[in-house]
Structure 1
Amino acid sequence: MNNYKALGLIETFGIVFVLEAADAMCKAADVDLIGFENVASGYISVLVRGDVGACKAAVESGIRAVKEMGSEVYSSLVIPSPHHDIEKIISRYSLETLNP
């Protein structure tokens, strides 16, 4: 059985806020930035991967950073043990896919 790392996700409005969230997430914990997705009409999601504790700390830090800038996080989530089929969705977000 494969050992899949946890996922941490934040969705907010606007590239400036999502960049601030991503920066805070990567600085707060030992996580890897998977990528981002412009969901619709300016809503953008950012994804990180790491162990469960790191993803929780990263998401909390990202939320705090967005709120400190005066915006709001519309959604956030940590998936401790994602099913392997989730990789099919994650690959769409991957920065490696965008910049081969």
Structure 2
Amino acid sequence: MPVPHLTLDLRGLTTKADLHMFFKRELAFEDWYGVSWDAFWDSIVAIADMPIILTLQHWQDFAAACPRDMEILRQVVADYNDYMPGKRIELDPPA
């Protein structure tokens, strides 16, 4: 049974590699997981036992350092919220 709510603090993450390795550790992704948005998508929709609500806080450091990847993350969040009924990823505060 998935955890009802999990909050992850992204403060201080300023590279794509650091963000992905943080997600790998905190969301218990498979060993093969690497620095890839495709692998992230596969993991959150089909492999990892995701919480019902995942809140990402303090994402602003990452957004400032990696604006292109932050846009990808925003799109992944939107797609996930459309694709996974009953589950959500939220950016706090909203982007």
TM range (shorter): 0.3 to 0.5
Normalising to structure 2: TM-score of the pair?
Answer: 0.36
Answer 1 or 2: which has greater strand percent. Answer: 1
Normalising to structure 1: TM-score of the pair?
Answer: 0.34
